[in-house]
Amino acid sequence: MTDSADRTPASRGRGRPSVVDHDAVAEAAILLWTERGYEQTTWRDLADATGVSERTLLRHFQTRAAIAWTGVDAARERLAAALAAATPDEPLADVLRRAVVSSVSHDSVRRLGSQWATLVSTEPELAAFGQRSNLPWTADLADHIAARVPEAPRAVANAVAAAYEAASRSALIDWAAGDAGDPADAVDAALRWLRVDAAEAAEAPGAADAAEAPDAADAPDAAADADPAADGTRRR
């Protein structure tokens, strides 16, 4: 989503390269796409709507889809700040929920979140670009989970982080359909259904074996050690 206090799309001083407010450009683009349709809007249309030349837009944004996801870095910063502020004694589920809610809490999300969520969930190009753009955000969440629960396999941390990303995205899409209330509240309500219980997971059958399983890179060597015939074949 977009994230900016400066509403001026672009400015230029004499002899200096153009300075583009990416977030203001994104907000103008979202409004234009909502009105005309994403596929029906050209770079020329975007230039007219933002007051930024086509050439400058193309220099700052690799694709049109990148414009819609320009706020991801700011959301990632809010996520990181919330995770860093958490204390070790707080329940992990509460920490994750508050951090994710914090990442979507911004005036621009409240102002244009409905149009944005509708666009990125219905336009294939925007949805595909968003999946790639959100990978660092999800990885940050997984890193925190792994640090809090070091006995859990990394695959578990990745899966839990992906579940939180999917739940928050789904909550925003559902909120956009009704466009009532605060989007952050919708995300908060959805994430309260998720529970992370490391103690219970550690007691589950096979949990210890999973935690001690070799990494994928070491798997061939582990298999060879368990099967002398395979080991001999591998060394011929």
Q: What is the pLDDT along the chain (236 residues), one digit of tens a residue?
A: 544 433 344 444 444 446 789 989 999 999 999 999 999 999 999 999 999 999 999 999 989 999 999 989 999 999 999 999 999 999 999 999 999 999 998 877 778 888 999 999 999 999 999 999 999 999 999 999 999 999 999 999 999 999 999 999 999 999 988 867 889 999 999 999 998 876 555 555 555 555 555 554 444 444 444 444 444 444 44
Give the model's pLDDT for residue 112. 83
CB 149 within 8 A of CB 197: no
Sequence-ordered alpha helix ranges (H) in 88-227:
92-103, 107-122, 124-133, 135-148, 154-178, 183-191, 198-202, 207-212, 219-226
Domain with CATH 1.10.357.10 in the chain: 72-202
Give the CATH class of 10-68: mainly alpha
Give the model's pLDDT for residue 106. 82
What is the CA angle 112-114-118, rounded to 5? 120
Give the model's pLDDT for residue 118. 92
DSSP 88: T
Give the model's pLDDT for residue 234. 41
Give the model's pLDDT for residue 18. 64
Q: Kindly state the tokens that stand for 189.
A: 């309500």
CA distance 27 to 100: 22
Please name every residue paired with 10 in a beta bridge, in sequence order, or none if there are none: 20
Name the CATH code of domain 72-202 (choices 1.10.10.10, 2.40.128.20, 1.10.357.10, 3.20.20.70). 1.10.357.10
Calculated CA dihedral for residues 67, 71, 76, 81, nearest 10 degrees: 160
Please name every residue paired with 11 in a beta bridge, in sequence order, or none if there are none: 19
Give the model's pLDDT for residue 108. 74
CA distance 134 to 60: 19
Give the model's pLDDT for residue 208. 54
CA distance 213 to 95: 28
CA distance 141 to 78: 12
Domain with CATH 1.10.10.60 in the chain: 10-68
CA distance 214 to 33: 48
Task: Tell me the pairing of strands 10-11 and 19-20.
Answer: antiparallel
pTM, 2 dp: 0.75
